[in-house]
Structure 1
Amino acid sequence: MLIYDAISPAPRCLRMFVLEKGLRLPAVTVDVMRGENREPAYLTINPAGQTPALRLDDGSTLAEAVAIAEYLEELHPQPVLIGATPEQRAQTRQWWRRVELNVTEFIHNAFHYAEGLARFEPRIPVLPEAAAGLKRVAQDRLAWLDGLFGAGPYLCGERFSAADIWLYVWLDFGVGVNQPFDRQLPNIGPWFERMAARPSAAASRQLLASA
């Protein structure tokens, strides 16, 4: 297998997942800053032009960080990051969907329309006038998520999961692109500090080793 890695939040989510799994997978870096992911050579690998991607041993390719994480969990079920039972897997996916649909998508698009505008304007439709509203929605939904947070210490209670990884990476990304979150949120504030203390949090900032 070969991971197509990049300096971007979704690939970092996958890197942190791989690190937590203790896996060693070869990788190549796709230079998304100069748009290598939109060039013909990469589009033959992933026609969606997104990173990360995973080339399988049979030459086929999987795309979408969530789908790749699910695949790797199937191959390497320990340590458990999605779930060991149907109930655990459903619980993780519940929180994962809440995180993606209510928080990370708004952070992502707000970045496209504001701080990342110069980079993305030649590539995708952008709405600069929507950026401020998207940022407000992300923060509102994060406060909503904080209210759903149970006894913790993680989104799935005592069980650390992929949902925690996805929320942490995107909130950390937001801090660096003028989308800081309210550290006084009673549940997510302390949770973020717990996540930041995990070795994989710092290690995932680095690209995976080249193949």
Structure 2
Amino acid sequence: MLVLDAISPAPRCLRMFLLEKNIQLDSQFIDVITGENRETEYLSINPAGQTPSLQLDDGSYITESLAIAEYLEELYPQPVLIGNNPKERAETRMWWRRVELNITEFIHNAFHYSEGLNRFKSRIPVVPEAAPGLKMVAQDRIQWLDSMMHGLYLCGDRFSAADIWLYVWLDFANQVQVNQPINFSQLKHLSSWFEEISKRSSAQLSQKPLHEIKKNS
């Protein structure tokens, strides 16, 4: 298999997932800064122009981070990051969807419309006037999520792929959204959660693309 990797939050989520599972795959770096993911060759693989993508041994591709993670979990079930049984898998998917639909999509689009505007205005439809509102909604939903947590992780005492997705996107938001950073001091649960996950070796290593991680390992 081959990972089409990039420096962007979603590919970092996959890198962190692979590191947690100790899965080593070959990779090809896609330069999203220059727009390589919007060129014909990559669009023939993923018409959405998004990264990451996973090339299977038969030459076909799986895209979308959740689909890739679930595919790899079936191939490499240990350590478990989605679930040991139907209930655990449903619980992970529930939290992942809550996080994605209520928080990270707002962070994603706010970046496109504000800090990343110069890069994205020629690639996708952008609405700069929407950015402040999107950031406000993300902040509100972060507090909403914080109020629902009742354990160290989103799934209680079980670290999961949902934690990876939320951690990477919140880390990204705090790095790029300089005008409205996340105030972790106001978050009863997520402040300690974020600090705990930051200590994981996968959180540090995943900041580099896969080919650099492999070269240094």
Cα distance between partner residues in 2 of 1:26 and 1:12: 15
Alignment correspondent of 1:109 = 109
Cα distance between partner residues in 2 of 1:102 and 1:44: 30
CA deviations on 1:82-103 (whole Å, 9 max, x unpaired) are 0000000011111001100010
1:193 equivalent in alignment to 2:195 = yes
Alignment correspondent of 1:166 = 165
The answer (yes or no) to whether the contact 1:171–1:180 under 8 Å persists in 2 is: no
Count the aligned residue pairs. Answer: 210
Alignment correspondent of 2:85 = 85
SS in structure 2 opposite 1:111? helix
Alignment correspondent of 2:181 = 180
Alignment correspondent of 1:71 = 71
Cα distance between partner residues in 2 of 1:48 and 1:127: 19
1:42 equivalent in alignment to 2:42 = yes
Cα distance between partner residues in 2 of 1:136 and 1:46: 31
Alignment correspondent of 1:206 = 208
Unpaired segments ≥5 residues, structure 1: none
Please, what TM-score do these two structures have when normalized by structure 1? 0.97
Percentage of matched positions with identical amino acids: 66
Cα distance between partner residues in 1 of 2:74 and 2:92: 15
Cα distance between partner residues in 1 of 2:132 and 2:48: 27
Cα distance between partner residues in 1 of 2:88 and 2:182: 28
SS in structure 2 opposite 1:171? helix
1:125 equivalent in alignment to 2:125 = yes
SS in structure 2 opposite 1:206? coil
